[in-house]
Amino acid sequence: MTSMDATATSELLFDVSGGVARLALNRPEKRNALSEALLEQLAAVLARIASDAAVRVVVLSATGPAFCAGHDLTEMIGRSQADYQEIFSRCSGVMQQLRFLPQPVIARVHGAATAAGCQLVAACDLVVAADHATFATPGVKIGLFCTTPMVPLVRAIPAKPAMEMLLTGAPISAARAYELGLVNRVVPPEQLDTAIDELVNAMLSASPLVIRLGKAAFYDQLSLDEATAYDRATDVITDNAARPVAQEGMTAFLEKRLPIWPG
Protein backbone atom coordinates (compact mmCIF):
# COMPACT_ATOMS: atom_id res chain seq x y z
CA MET A 1 0.00 0.00 0.00
CA THR A 2 1.41 3.37 -0.90
CA SER A 3 1.37 6.27 1.54
CA MET A 4 -2.08 7.72 2.00
CA ASP A 5 -3.24 11.03 0.64
CA ALA A 6 -4.29 13.75 3.03
CA THR A 7 -8.00 13.67 3.77
CA ALA A 8 -10.47 15.71 5.74
CA THR A 9 -13.87 14.60 6.94
CA SER A 10 -16.47 16.66 8.73
CA GLU A 11 -15.27 15.40 12.11
CA LEU A 12 -11.69 14.20 11.59
CA LEU A 13 -8.75 15.91 9.90
CA PHE A 14 -6.02 13.65 8.55
CA ASP A 15 -2.70 14.27 6.84
CA VAL A 16 0.43 12.23 6.11
CA SER A 17 3.78 13.88 5.47
CA GLY A 18 7.37 12.79 6.00
CA GLY A 19 6.40 9.49 7.56
CA VAL A 20 4.12 11.15 10.13
CA ALA A 21 0.35 10.73 10.16
CA ARG A 22 -1.40 13.62 11.89
CA LEU A 23 -4.98 13.19 13.04
CA ALA A 24 -7.09 15.96 14.56
CA LEU A 25 -10.48 15.57 16.17
CA ASN A 26 -12.54 18.28 14.50
CA ARG A 27 -15.74 18.96 16.41
CA PRO A 28 -14.69 22.15 18.22
CA GLU A 29 -18.28 23.28 18.75
CA LYS A 30 -18.89 20.00 20.65
CA ARG A 31 -15.55 20.05 22.47
CA ASN A 32 -14.54 17.18 20.18
CA ALA A 33 -16.99 14.76 21.77
CA LEU A 34 -16.73 11.26 20.33
CA SER A 35 -19.85 10.96 18.21
CA GLU A 36 -20.69 7.67 16.56
CA ALA A 37 -19.59 9.18 13.23
CA LEU A 38 -16.26 10.33 14.64
CA LEU A 39 -15.57 6.93 16.19
CA GLU A 40 -16.35 5.29 12.86
CA GLN A 41 -14.00 7.66 11.05
CA LEU A 42 -11.24 7.10 13.59
CA ALA A 43 -11.58 3.33 13.24
CA ALA A 44 -11.34 3.54 9.45
CA VAL A 45 -8.32 5.86 9.43
CA LEU A 46 -6.45 3.83 12.05
CA ALA A 47 -7.04 0.68 9.99
CA ARG A 48 -5.52 2.42 6.96
CA ILE A 49 -2.53 3.61 8.97
CA ALA A 50 -1.90 0.13 10.39
CA SER A 51 -1.36 -1.28 6.91
CA ASP A 52 0.77 1.59 5.58
CA ALA A 53 4.49 0.93 6.09
CA ALA A 54 5.29 4.49 4.99
CA VAL A 55 3.71 5.85 8.19
CA ARG A 56 6.28 5.77 10.97
CA VAL A 57 4.65 7.81 13.74
CA VAL A 58 1.12 9.02 14.50
CA VAL A 59 0.25 12.32 16.21
CA LEU A 60 -3.28 12.68 17.58
CA SER A 61 -4.49 16.22 18.32
CA ALA A 62 -7.71 18.23 18.31
CA THR A 63 -9.10 21.56 17.20
CA GLY A 64 -10.82 24.19 19.34
CA PRO A 65 -10.40 24.87 23.08
CA ALA A 66 -10.76 21.27 24.36
CA PHE A 67 -8.96 18.07 23.48
CA CYS A 68 -11.97 15.76 23.91
CA ALA A 69 -15.05 15.86 26.12
CA GLY A 70 -15.76 12.12 25.92
CA HIS A 71 -18.86 10.56 24.40
CA ASP A 72 -21.42 12.87 22.80
CA LEU A 73 -24.20 12.82 25.39
CA THR A 74 -26.72 14.14 22.88
CA GLU A 75 -26.49 10.70 21.25
CA MET A 76 -26.75 8.84 24.55
CA ILE A 77 -30.26 9.69 25.77
CA GLY A 78 -33.11 7.20 25.36
CA ARG A 79 -31.18 4.59 23.41
CA SER A 80 -31.67 0.85 23.66
CA GLN A 81 -29.29 -1.43 25.53
CA ALA A 82 -28.20 -2.83 22.17
CA ASP A 83 -27.36 0.70 21.02
CA TYR A 84 -25.26 1.33 24.11
CA GLN A 85 -23.46 -1.98 23.59
CA GLU A 86 -22.65 -0.93 20.04
CA ILE A 87 -21.45 2.56 21.03
CA PHE A 88 -19.19 1.41 23.87
CA SER A 89 -17.88 -1.57 21.90
CA ARG A 90 -16.99 0.70 19.00
CA CYS A 91 -15.19 3.09 21.32
CA SER A 92 -13.33 0.23 23.04
CA GLY A 93 -12.36 -1.06 19.60
CA VAL A 94 -10.81 2.29 18.65
CA MET A 95 -8.82 2.36 21.90
CA GLN A 96 -7.52 -1.14 21.21
CA GLN A 97 -6.63 -0.13 17.65
CA LEU A 98 -4.32 2.49 19.14
CA ARG A 99 -2.69 -0.15 21.33
CA PHE A 100 -2.23 -2.65 18.49
CA LEU A 101 -1.24 -0.08 15.88
CA PRO A 102 2.30 -0.96 14.72
CA GLN A 103 3.31 2.70 14.83
CA PRO A 104 3.76 4.67 18.07
CA VAL A 105 1.01 7.22 18.78
CA ILE A 106 1.66 10.57 20.47
CA ALA A 107 -1.27 12.48 21.95
CA ARG A 108 -0.96 16.27 21.66
CA VAL A 109 -3.20 17.49 24.48
CA HIS A 110 -3.81 21.23 24.40
CA GLY A 111 -6.92 21.36 26.59
CA ALA A 112 -9.34 19.34 28.70
CA ALA A 113 -9.47 15.56 28.20
CA THR A 114 -12.58 14.24 29.90
CA ALA A 115 -14.17 10.78 30.32
CA ALA A 116 -13.61 8.92 27.01
CA GLY A 117 -11.31 11.81 26.08
CA CYS A 118 -9.11 10.89 29.04
CA GLN A 119 -9.44 7.27 27.90
CA LEU A 120 -8.17 8.31 24.48
CA VAL A 121 -5.12 9.97 26.05
CA ALA A 122 -4.37 6.95 28.25
CA ALA A 123 -4.61 4.64 25.24
CA CYS A 124 -1.87 6.52 23.35
CA ASP A 125 1.76 5.47 23.71
CA LEU A 126 3.16 8.91 24.56
CA VAL A 127 1.48 12.12 25.71
CA VAL A 128 2.61 15.74 25.51
CA ALA A 129 0.33 18.18 27.32
CA ALA A 130 0.05 21.94 27.57
CA ASP A 131 0.56 23.13 31.13
CA HIS A 132 -3.07 24.26 31.43
CA ALA A 133 -4.56 20.94 30.19
CA THR A 134 -6.71 18.93 32.57
CA PHE A 135 -7.72 15.28 32.78
CA ALA A 136 -10.86 13.84 34.35
CA THR A 137 -13.15 10.80 34.50
CA PRO A 138 -16.31 12.54 35.77
CA GLY A 139 -18.92 9.99 34.75
CA VAL A 140 -19.81 9.34 38.40
CA LYS A 141 -21.26 12.86 38.52
CA ILE A 142 -23.85 12.08 35.83
CA GLY A 143 -24.73 8.56 36.91
CA LEU A 144 -22.55 6.84 34.32
CA PHE A 145 -19.35 5.50 35.92
CA CYS A 146 -16.31 5.77 33.62
CA THR A 147 -15.89 2.01 33.47
CA THR A 148 -14.37 1.76 29.99
CA PRO A 149 -12.11 4.84 30.43
CA MET A 150 -10.91 3.11 33.60
CA VAL A 151 -9.27 0.30 31.59
CA PRO A 152 -6.36 2.23 30.01
CA LEU A 153 -6.26 4.74 32.88
CA VAL A 154 -5.45 2.13 35.53
CA ARG A 155 -2.81 0.70 33.19
CA ALA A 156 -1.18 4.12 32.90
CA ILE A 157 -1.26 5.37 36.51
CA PRO A 158 -1.28 3.75 39.97
CA ALA A 159 -4.52 2.27 41.30
CA LYS A 160 -5.13 4.66 44.20
CA PRO A 161 -5.03 7.93 42.22
CA ALA A 162 -6.99 6.24 39.42
CA MET A 163 -9.69 5.31 41.93
CA GLU A 164 -9.74 8.87 43.25
CA MET A 165 -10.28 10.23 39.74
CA LEU A 166 -13.02 7.68 39.07
CA LEU A 167 -14.84 7.97 42.41
CA THR A 168 -14.77 11.77 42.70
CA GLY A 169 -14.79 12.84 39.06
CA ALA A 170 -12.45 15.68 40.02
CA PRO A 171 -10.02 16.80 37.30
CA ILE A 172 -6.27 16.66 37.72
CA SER A 173 -3.80 19.16 36.34
CA ALA A 174 -1.22 18.45 33.67
CA ALA A 175 1.47 18.66 36.36
CA ARG A 176 -0.31 16.02 38.46
CA ALA A 177 -0.84 13.86 35.36
CA TYR A 178 2.91 14.05 34.75
CA GLU A 179 3.65 13.02 38.36
CA LEU A 180 1.36 10.01 37.99
CA GLY A 181 2.77 8.92 34.63
CA LEU A 182 -0.23 9.67 32.43
CA VAL A 183 1.74 12.38 30.63
CA ASN A 184 5.33 12.26 29.37
CA ARG A 185 5.97 15.99 29.02
CA VAL A 186 4.25 19.19 30.15
CA VAL A 187 5.11 22.36 28.28
CA PRO A 188 3.72 25.85 27.69
CA PRO A 189 1.14 25.81 24.86
CA GLU A 190 3.48 27.55 22.43
CA GLN A 191 6.04 24.76 22.90
CA LEU A 192 3.69 21.84 22.22
CA ASP A 193 4.71 21.37 18.61
CA THR A 194 8.43 21.64 19.41
CA ALA A 195 8.12 18.98 22.09
CA ILE A 196 6.13 16.75 19.75
CA ASP A 197 8.72 17.20 17.00
CA GLU A 198 11.52 16.16 19.35
CA LEU A 199 9.79 12.86 20.05
CA VAL A 200 8.83 12.34 16.40
CA ASN A 201 12.36 12.98 15.16
CA ALA A 202 13.85 10.64 17.76
CA MET A 203 11.59 7.83 16.53
CA LEU A 204 12.12 8.64 12.85
CA SER A 205 15.87 8.25 13.39
CA ALA A 206 15.41 4.67 14.58
CA SER A 207 14.68 1.62 12.48
CA PRO A 208 10.92 1.41 11.78
CA LEU A 209 11.09 -2.37 12.12
CA VAL A 210 12.65 -2.14 15.57
CA ILE A 211 10.12 0.45 16.72
CA ARG A 212 7.29 -1.85 15.63
CA LEU A 213 8.86 -4.89 17.27
CA GLY A 214 9.43 -2.94 20.46
CA LYS A 215 5.93 -1.49 20.74
CA ALA A 216 4.31 -4.89 20.20
CA ALA A 217 6.61 -6.57 22.73
CA PHE A 218 6.04 -3.84 25.33
CA TYR A 219 2.28 -4.35 25.45
CA ASP A 220 2.55 -8.11 25.01
CA GLN A 221 4.58 -8.55 28.20
CA LEU A 222 2.87 -5.88 30.27
CA SER A 223 0.21 -8.09 31.85
CA LEU A 224 2.37 -11.21 32.18
CA ASP A 225 4.03 -12.45 35.34
CA GLU A 226 7.75 -11.67 35.46
CA ALA A 227 9.04 -15.12 34.47
CA THR A 228 6.66 -15.39 31.50
CA ALA A 229 7.45 -11.82 30.50
CA TYR A 230 11.17 -12.65 30.43
CA ASP A 231 10.49 -15.73 28.31
CA ARG A 232 8.44 -13.67 25.83
CA ALA A 233 10.95 -10.81 25.76
CA THR A 234 13.87 -13.21 25.30
CA ASP A 235 12.19 -14.69 22.23
CA VAL A 236 11.62 -11.24 20.74
CA ILE A 237 15.13 -9.92 21.40
CA THR A 238 16.66 -13.15 20.07
CA ASP A 239 14.73 -12.77 16.83
CA ASN A 240 15.63 -9.06 16.70
CA ALA A 241 19.36 -9.68 17.24
CA ALA A 242 19.54 -12.12 14.33
CA ARG A 243 17.96 -9.65 11.89
CA PRO A 244 20.03 -7.46 9.54
CA VAL A 245 18.78 -4.31 11.27
CA ALA A 246 20.45 -5.25 14.57
CA GLN A 247 23.62 -6.44 12.86
CA GLU A 248 23.88 -3.10 11.07
CA GLY A 249 23.12 -1.13 14.23
CA MET A 250 25.72 -2.91 16.34
CA THR A 251 28.33 -2.72 13.59
CA ALA A 252 27.71 1.00 13.10
CA PHE A 253 28.08 1.60 16.83
CA LEU A 254 31.41 -0.22 16.93
CA GLU A 255 32.59 1.63 13.83
CA LYS A 256 31.47 4.96 15.32
CA ARG A 257 29.20 5.86 12.42
CA LEU A 258 25.50 6.39 11.86
CA PRO A 259 23.61 3.23 10.94
CA ILE A 260 22.07 2.75 7.52
CA TRP A 261 18.88 0.88 8.30
CA PRO A 262 17.95 -1.87 5.85
CA GLY A 263 14.59 -1.48 4.20
pLDDT for position 3: 41
Q: Is 7-204 a CATH 3.30.1950.10 domain? A: no
Say how far apart CA 128 and CA 183 lie, in whole Å. Answer: 6
Domain boundaries, given as residue ranges, for the chain: 7-204, 208-254
Q: What is the pLDDT of residue 219?
A: 95
* CB atoms near residue 72 (< 10 Å): 20
pLDDT at 4: 46
Closest of 62, 49, 63 to residue 19, by C-alpha: 49
pTM, entire model: 0.94
Q: Which of 85, 78, 92 is closest to 34 using CA atoms?
A: 92
pLDDT of residue 7: 52
* CATH level 3 topology of 208-254: Lyase 2-enoyl-coa Hydratase; Chain  A, domain 2 (1.10.12)
Q: For position 1, what pLDDT does the model report?
A: 33
Per-residue pLDDT, 10: 83
DSSP E strands, the chain: 7-8, 12-17, 20-25, 57-62, 105-109, 113-114, 126-130, 134-136, 172-173, 185-187
- How many of the other CB atoms lie within 10 Å of CB of 246? 18
Average pLDDT across each block of 10 residues of the chain; the chain has 263 residues. List them in order: 49 96 98 97 97 97 98 96 97 98 98 98 98 98 98 98 98 98 98 98 96 96 95 96 95 96 85
